[in-house]
Amino acid sequence: MRTIEDLKWRYATKKFDATKKISNEDLDKLKEAIQLTATSYGLQLFKVLIIENPETRNLLKPASWGQSQITDASHLLVFCNFSEVTEDHLNHFAAIKSKANNIPMEDLSGYVGFIQSKLGELNADQIDNWTAKQTYIGLANLMNAAAELHIDTCPMEGFDKAQYDEILGLSAKGLSAAVLCPIGYRSEDDATQHASKVRKSLEDLFEVV
């Protein structure tokens, strides 16, 4: 099973080779892997910013605890969740589903109404937390696909969310930064790549009930 070998190869890269860039072809593959992510109700209530601009990344570095991956990786991906679910989100989803499955829009009104009723049970903080969680499923797909392509990744929660939202102008778009992932190629000087993985045993991790 190649996936297992790819997962054994990958690690959270601490030092990227700033001279190596991901090809457009491979970047498109990673984008498609994220696009195919399974999400609650299929709503995909997130957006992924691909930060290439060096000036922007230099601004984000201090808001990321000064970590070098922000500026040295080939690309910086910022997974952003929508802070609230709007009628436009639901209508857009219905339109996509109608076209993909050849279902008349009116036949989807019941399903959309069901989603609205369930979301209506949640307060604003719960909605924000729920949509933020969805981004981590996309992050996992990115990391697995990147490992298959032998592209390095480093999932990061070590950043100032408020500063990211301000620098990238996210609040005006109804978005908020949830998790980061620099992607690129490891530096030969990154000693972390030689460390053994620290994982619980299968016996500790799993229990059959």
Give the pLDDT band of residue 138 (cuts 50, 70, 90): very high
> Is residue 23 predicted with pLDDT exceeding 90?
yes
User: Hey, where are the domains in the chain?
Assistant: 2-188
6-31: average pLDDT: 98
pLDDT digits (tens, 9 = 90+) for 154-200: 999 999 999 999 999 999 999 999 999 999 999 999 999 999 999 99
pLDDT digits (tens, 9 = 90+) for 64-117: 999 999 999 999 999 999 999 999 999 999 999 999 999 999 999 999 999 999
Q: Using alpha carbons, select from 35, 135, 118, 40 the residue that is nearest to residue 82.
A: 135
Say which DSSP state 82 is in. Answer: E
User: Which two structure tokens, joined as six digits, stand for 20?
Assistant: 């190596």
Say what the pLDDT of residue 162 is.
Answer: 98
| Its pTM surpasses 0.85 | yes
> Is residue 1 predicted with pLDDT exceeding 90?
no
- Indicate the average pLDDT of the chain: 97
- Cβ contacts of 133 within 8 Å, gap of 6 or more: none
- Cβ contacts of 44 within 8 Å, gap of 6 or more: 37, 93, 134
Locate the DSSP E strands across 28-74. Answer: 46-51
Q: If residue 153 lies in a helix (H) or strand (E), which one and from where to where?
A: strand 152-153
Q: What gap in Å lies between CA 46 and CA 35, rounded to an integer?
A: 10
What's the CATH fold of domain 2-188? NADH Oxidase (3.40.109)
16-26: average pLDDT: 98
| Contact between 51 and 78 (Cβ < 8 Å) | yes
Q: What gap in Å lies between CA 208 and CA 180, rounded to an integer?
A: 34
